[in-house]
Amino acid sequence: MGNRAYNFNAGPAALPLEVLQKAQEELVEFKGIGMSIMEISHRSAEYEQVHNETQQLLKQIFSIPDGYQIQFLQGGASTQFAMIPLNFLKPGKVGSYVLTGAWAEKAIQEAKLFGEVAIAASSQEQKFMKIPDLSDISLHPDSAYLHVTSNETIEGAQFQSYPDTGNVPLIGDMSSDILSRPVDVSKFGMIYAGAQKNLGPSGVTVVIVKEDLLQDLPKTIPTMLRYEIHGKNNSLYNTPPVYSIYMVNLVLKWIQEQGGLAVIEKNNLEKSGLIYSAIDQSGGFYRGPVDKGSRSSMNITFRLQDEELEKKFIKETEQNGFVGLKGHRSVGGLRASTYNAVPYASCKALADFMTDFQKRNG
Ligand SMILES: *Cc1c(COP(=O)(O)O)cnc(C)c1O
């Protein structure tokens, strides 16, 4: 496959080549049934096997303890921003949030539509370039939950550890770093992620939720927005996004073949390390604005001296087979998204290009 780009897209993002090839192989005729997986009932034995196996694989790979449910929902991570307060933010309670960047801000704005919100910690004054220290966080006494955004995809800052929240359920938006490293899932009441960065294509949102939290939830909210309904029906209350779930299944098997999350984490640190080294060893030619202790292994943000040079950089990368290096329109600059499926060779090629570009323009 000589024509595959060096894909640094932020989302939807690179998928493992082996996964795409397997999907291609099975596209027209899935496992001898004479049809595509997209052409059969979501109640069929063949689809149900894929559905349940995907849950089992995720439970295994992410070491999800008993007592958690895995749900496959639609509407993206953005719909979770509403479902969380709709389900968990009862009258008299407060939704606590850590404000770490653009995605946390969106979650907060959505929660404000439904109830009272408290900012438990914020890095707004640091322009979101540093994850706040949460070691001695004190939560509003009426907190229904504490919400964190484990990796801020746009700014490029990532939590390196998670706070202990006692009886208050910790909820994590892991859309852009789920399965990039091992996580102690038992610390969380709920983890959710839109699939299109690290899990598969867009169209499915994975929710991992502690069963205890699904008791006594409001029954007056729209049926499709109730975790309890999706839980009781094993995410088959209505037609699930079958093809996206099938693709997640293939990605999970690929992760397993790589050796699981310990190996994935090591690979991710090596990959991002190549690019961070090119920044750090450039003597200021490239500037990584994020505090070193909060640097993301998934979204590497950096700047050049001026926007003119940044434009030139983007143009030349595009001419050399690199895709997706422009920073998010809200922050500008440059961003390399190095999710699980981005090969080491792409990161090496980018680091080498950066060094060469500096030689020619420094
Ligand atoms: C991409 C992203 C989202 C939004 O996901 P959608 O599936 O497009 O709604 C939310 N949170 C984070 C951290 C993201 O990276």
Q: What is the mean pLDDT of residues 299-306?
A: 97
Model confidence pLDDT, tens digit, residues 161-188: 999 999 999 999 999 999 999 999 999 9
- How much is the pLDDT for 3? 86
CB distance 199 to 175 below 8 Å:
no
Question: Which amino acid appears at position 241 of this protein?
Answer: P
Residue 137 backbone dihedrals phi, psi, to 5 degrees: -65, 135
**Count helices and strands in the chain by DSSP H and E runs:** 9, 13
Q: What is the DSSP letter of 225?
A: G
CB distance 84 to 149 below 8 Å:
no
Q: Does residue 11 line the site of ligand 1, with CB under 6 A?
A: yes
Where helices occur in the chain by DSSP H, the ranges are: 17-26, 45-61, 76-88, 102-112, 227-232, 242-258, 261-280, 307-319, 344-361
CA distance 221 to 195: 25
Tracing tokens 């190549």 back to the chain, one arrives at: 274
Rounded to a whole number of angstroms, the distance between the first and last alpha carbons of the chain is 34
Q: Does residue 296 line the site of ligand 1, with CB under 6 A?
A: no
The reply to whether CATH 3.90.1150.10 applies to domain 260-361 is yes
- From 110, 153, 198, the mutation candidate for ligand 1 (largest count of ligand atoms within 8 A of CB) is 153
Model confidence pLDDT, tens digit, residues 253-281: 999 999 999 999 999 999 999 999 999 99
Model confidence pLDDT, tens digit, residues 11-39: 999 999 999 999 999 999 999 999 999 99
Instruction: Return the biggest CA–CA distance within the chain.
Output: 64
CA distance 51 to 42: 9
Looking at the predicted structure, is the pLDDT value of residue 1 above 70? Answer: no
**What percent of the chain has pLDDT above 70?**
99
Residue in 77, 70, 143, 132 with CA at minimum distance from that of residue 99: 132
Looking at the predicted structure, is the pLDDT value of residue 93 above 70? Answer: yes
Looking at every residue in the chain, the average pLDDT score rounds to 97
List all residues 6 or more positions away from 237 whose beta carbon is below 8 Å from its beta carbon: 223, 224, 229, 230
Does residue 173 carry a catalytic annotation? yes
Instruction: Give me the residue spans of the domains in the chain.
Output: 18-257, 260-361
Model confidence pLDDT, tens digit, residues 43-55: 999 999 999 999 9
CB distance 308 to 278 below 8 Å:
no
Q: What is the mean pLDDT of residues 110-125?
A: 97
Question: How is residue 24 written in tokens?
Answer: 């291609």
Catalytic residue chosen out of the listed positions 130, 197, 271, 326: 197
CB distance 176 to 45 below 8 Å:
no
Does residue 254 carry a catalytic annotation? no
Residue 56 three-state SS: helix
Residue 101 three-state SS: coil
Question: How is residue 75 written in tokens?
Answer: 């509407």
Residue in 159, 157, 153 with CA at minimum distance from that of residue 176: 153
Question: How is residue 46 written in tokens?
Answer: 């063949």
Q: How far is the CA of 175 from the centre of ligand 1 (A)?
A: 6
Residue 113 backbone dihedrals phi, psi, to 5 degrees: -70, -20
- From 103, 171, 192, 301, the mutation candidate for ligand 1 (largest count of ligand atoms within 8 A of CB) is 103
Q: Does residue 153 line the site of ligand 1, with CB under 6 A?
A: yes
CB distance 26 to 264 below 8 Å:
no
**Domain 18-257 -> CATH class:** alpha beta
Does residue 66 carry a catalytic annotation? no
- How much is the pLDDT for 136? 86
- How much is the pLDDT for 332? 94
